[in-house]
């Protein structure tokens, strides 16, 4: 078995050594992906091996990514791997959220339980391992916050220098704080995500810096394992749907690739349908899906949403993501700021909580059941991509009726939970408590 980089473009399929530092095909410009020609796995025995590794004390086995290393075999050995014990995220059923979403049941795969609080850690451990294998010293990314937090942590843990480029004033403080604390050199650029990505690609080429955005195919390999772990936790029974938020669309590409490979290799019988949810003000992929005749994504020059993680108008991975949505017989939906905010509060009230972009999943589910695309009795796994504490400012504003949507409209606190100021007086507090029941 060998690993190589292959052009994603089905009519090009140019091949390159797995150690080539290139993200786009030099022949046709499309993104590359890792491929393993001739890979054949004994699925039944591996299922048992993977399960038994959960109780092992070896770092590689404790990682919810490297535990599944046979399905991401791009390294020759594991000397370059740094793990913070990423993955290992729970599947959480939530009755209140199911009811709100128009379903009998829903299960959240909560990637916010990762070491830096988002799904990016699954991919980052792989991207950083490849960077070290290649002998890179500096790594860079542009980010709406979570990629940078994750890259900062993994690069610093690996002894690499992390360089972070973020849209000035447009990421949450929780995420910016992580980048600073993990020791990344942080540049707040006065431009939006899409513009900064173009800038960083130029810089990376000029200065020989390794890029760890989701155009990096090894990040995608790591994010595949989110689906592998989810299926392992479900004893290899596929759900009907996997719902996820869509921004730069790396995750959609990764989930689709992972699920297809699991089917080809005999681990699962059916591939679940992907439902990708975008925020209304940053929904170029939704528009493309609605008008797939067009064949090409029309970018949104000034994307807007309070869910800053998915505030992206020109997603680089759209061709891969479109392929995966179509292959899985999936759908793309969009939701409003109000719908995201309310869904987020509902997820919070289940005792689970998540950041705004993640709540697009439940908001989208509610829309898809209302229109009959998703059946009430469907078996649905929604992926919560980031931790509740990533964006506390948003939460406080929502619950106190101060959350303003782009354009100036106030978000209604339909599920608001205002804190109450009280005097230091047991009598008064007791009477307040009795009046509320």
| Site for ligand F0G, rule CB under 6 A | 118, 120, 143-147, 214, 245-252, 309-310, 355, 357-358, 385-386
Instruction: Give the distance, in angstroms, between the CA of residue 362 and the centroid of all CA atoms in the same chain.
Output: 15
Integer CA distances (angstroms), 202 to 38, 64, 166, 300, in order: 35, 34, 16, 22
**Strand duo 4-7 + 32-35: pairing:** antiparallel
**Strand duo 15-17 + 4-7: pairing:** antiparallel
For ligand F0G, the closer CB: 50 or 154? 154
Could you say which DSSP state residue 299 is in? P
Integer CA distances (angstroms), 311 to 51, 136, 145, in order: 37, 30, 11
Cβ 379 to ligand F0G shortest distance, Å: 22
For ligand F0G, the closer CB: 62 or 308? 308
Alpha-carbon span 283 to 314, nearest angstrom: 9
Closest CA to 339 of 272, 232, 412: 412
Alpha-carbon span 211 to 191, nearest angstrom: 19
Q: What share of the chain is helix, strand, coil (3-state, %, to 5)?
A: 45, 15, 40
Closest CA to 273 of 323, 325, 333: 325
For ligand F0G, the closer CB: 60 or 199? 199
Cβ 48 to ligand F0G shortest distance, Å: 31
Cβ 75 to ligand F0G shortest distance, Å: 23
Strand runs (DSSP E) across 40-130, as ranges? Answer: 91-93, 107-110
For ligand F0G, the closer CB: 62 or 148? 148
Closest CA to 249 of 225, 215, 290: 215
For ligand F0G, the closer CB: 83 or 317? 317
Cβ 23 to ligand F0G shortest distance, Å: 15
Cβ 173 to ligand F0G shortest distance, Å: 15
Question: With contact defined as beta carbons under 8 Å apart, do 237 and 205 qualify?
Answer: no
For ligand F0G, the closer CB: 101 or 386? 386
For ligand F0G, the closer CB: 62 or 111? 111
Question: With contact defined as beta carbons under 8 Å apart, do 314 and 142 qualify?
Answer: no
Cβ 353 to ligand F0G shortest distance, Å: 13
For ligand F0G, the closer CB: 268 or 316? 316
**Strand duo 138-142 + 32-35: pairing:** unpaired
Please report the sign of the dihedral spanned by the C-alpha atoms of residue 316, residue 367, residue 92, residue 343. positive
Cβ 214 to ligand F0G shortest distance, Å: 6
């Amino acid at each position: 078995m060998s690993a190589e980089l292959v052009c994603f473009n089905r009519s090009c399929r140019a091949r390159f050594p797995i150690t080539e530092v290139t993200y786009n095909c030099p022949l046709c410009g499309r993104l590359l992906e890792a491929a393993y020609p001739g890979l054949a796995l004994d699925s039944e025995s591996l299922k048992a091996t993977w399960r038994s590794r959960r109780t092992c004390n070896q770092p590689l086995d404790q990682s919810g990514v490297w535990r599944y290393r046979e399905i991401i075999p791009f390294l020759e050995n594991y000397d370059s791997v740094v793990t913070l014990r990423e993955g290992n995220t729970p599947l959480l059923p939530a009755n209140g959220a199911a009811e709100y979403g128009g379903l009998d049941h829903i299960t959240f795969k909560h990637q916010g339980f990762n070491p830096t609080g988002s799904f990016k850690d699954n991919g980052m451990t792989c991207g950083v391992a490849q960077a070290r294998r290649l002998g890179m010293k500096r790594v860079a990314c542009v980010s709406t916050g979570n990629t940078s937090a994750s890259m900062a942590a993994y690069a610093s843990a690996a002894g690499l220098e992390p360089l972070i480029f973020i849209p000035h004033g447009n990421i949450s403080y929780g995420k910016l704080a992580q980048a600073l604390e993990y020791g990344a050199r942080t540049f707040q650029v006065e431009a939006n995500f899409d513009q900064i990505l173009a800038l960083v690609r130029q810089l990376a080429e000029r200065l020989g810096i390794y890029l760890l955005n989701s155009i990096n195919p090894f990040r995608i390999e790591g994010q595949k394992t989110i689906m592998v772990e989810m299926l392992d936790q479900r004893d290899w029974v596929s759900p009907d749907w996997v719902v996820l938020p869509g921004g730069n669309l790396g995750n959609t590409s990764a989930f689709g690739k992972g699920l297809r490979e699991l089917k080809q290799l005999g681990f699962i019988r059916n591939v679940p349908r992907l439902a990708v949810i975008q925020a209304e003000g940053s929904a170029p992929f939704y528009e493309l899906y609605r008008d797939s005749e067009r064949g090409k994504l029309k970018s949104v020059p000034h994307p807007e949403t309070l869910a800053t993680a998915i505030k992206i108008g020109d997603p680089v991975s759209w061709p891969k993501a479109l392929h995966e949505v179509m292959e899985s017989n999936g759908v793309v939906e969009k939701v409003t700021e109000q719908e995201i905010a309310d869904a987020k509060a509902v997820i919070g009230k289940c005792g689970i909580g998540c950041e705004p972009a993640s709540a697009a999943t439940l908001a989208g589910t509610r829309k898809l059941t209302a229109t009959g695309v998703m059946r009430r009795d469907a078996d649905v796994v929604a992926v919560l991509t980031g931790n509740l504490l990533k964006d506390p400012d948003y939460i406080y504003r929502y619950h106190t009726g101060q959350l303003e949507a782009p354009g100036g409209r106030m978000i209604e606190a339909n599920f608001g939970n205002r804190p109450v100021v009280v005097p230091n007086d047991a009598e008064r507090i007791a009477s307040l408590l009795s009046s509320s029941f």
